[in-house]
Amino acid sequence: MTTALPSDRTRANQAETRALWLACQFAWLTLFVFWVIASTSIDTEFARDGREGPPFFSWVTEGSSVVMTALMVPAMMWLGLRAPLEPGRWRASLPWHLAGFIGYTSLHVLGMVLIREGVWAFAYGSDYEFFHDAPWREIVYEARKDIGTYAGYQIIMAVSLALQMRQLEVEVARTEARQTHRLTLKCGGRTLRIAADEFRAAQAAGNYVEIRLAGGEHLARSTLTELEKQLGEAGIDAVRVHRSWLVNRDAIREIAPTGEGDVAITLDTGSTIPGSRRYRDRFEAA
């Protein structure tokens, strides 16, 4: 890999920003869905039990919680981005998240109560009572729920960041292939850089691909589609010959029918791989 340049840092920062806002958007969507489901469920329970409450009671009570959480989502996601709970860093990050959780649950409860008190005073003409005989029970109850919310959003942030970093790696690998005509492949913490013209064929293996080269084989965490695009950037005429096989067209030495339209493809290394009739128009084209 080339030495990191300022443009590389900029792309990484952009990927982090995309991850942050995608995570926020997903969190806001889940909050809206929760608000609708929780509110309609309370309305259904009231109707079933023959109880009546103030107009839009369930929508106000649940909405006050949703609004406060939605306002704090960016801060929670930002904290997850800057203090990731990942191997090697979680001990240093944990105190920040403990402080973040305490701040979130405190502001969540305070804001939720203030919103409800305002609605009760101006819309319902009465007082709202949140704390009853044992205030600590209400606080513990809300904090217990907030732990799950906070942890869930940290997971969303981690997944969003991982996806964006993965996409960035793919983009960087394609740029490297175009500039250096070498493949950049990763597996098990290793990064392999291979001359693209060494590529002969690749077989899909779950979340990995088994890559056959002129002088050996490697297992890489990738997909055939990603590998095909990277090979194309490196100037290699790679073609799909089977739903599970990708081949360097220049390495094909013989195509022999095996019956029912399928074929056996012999490479210049002497190995044979299957070819499907569904893909014959691709690999037999000039």
Whether 20 is in a domain gets the answer yes
Res 65: pLDDT:
94
**Residue 210 in contact with residue 202, Cβ under 8 Å?**
yes
Q: What pLDDT sits at residue 6?
A: 47
Pure H helices in the chain: 6-49, 57-82, 90-119, 135-180, 224-233, 280-283
Residue 272: CB partners within 8 Å, gap ≥ 6?
264, 265, 266
Tell me which DSSP letter residue 4 carries.
P
How far is CA 135 from each of CA 113, 144, 178, rounded to the nearest angstrom?
13, 14, 64
Question: Of 120, 140, 170, which residue sits at a domain end?
Answer: 170
Q: What is the CATH number of the domain that holds 200?
A: 2.40.50.1020
* Domain-terminating residue out of 170, 192, 218: 170
Instruction: Pick the last residue of a domain from 137, 170, 203.
Output: 170
Are residues 143 and 276 located together in one domain of the fold? Answer: no
**Do 75 and 41 belong to one domain?**
yes
Quote the pLDDT of residue 1: 43
> How far is it, in rounded angstroms, from Cα 29 to Cα 156?
12
Give the per-residue pLDDT at 10.
83
Q: What pLDDT sits at residue 286?
A: 44
Domain of 221 in residue numbering reads as 182-283
Distance CA 33, CA 58 (A): 14
Question: Domain tally for the chain?
Answer: 2
Residues 270 and 204 in one domain: yes
Could you list the mean pLDDT of each consecutive 10-residue stretch along the chain, which spans 286 residues?
Answer: 57 90 97 95 85 84 95 96 87 93 94 92 85 72 91 95 89 87 84 90 90 89 90 92 92 86 89 87 64
Q: Tell whether 158 and 250 lie within a shared domain.
A: no
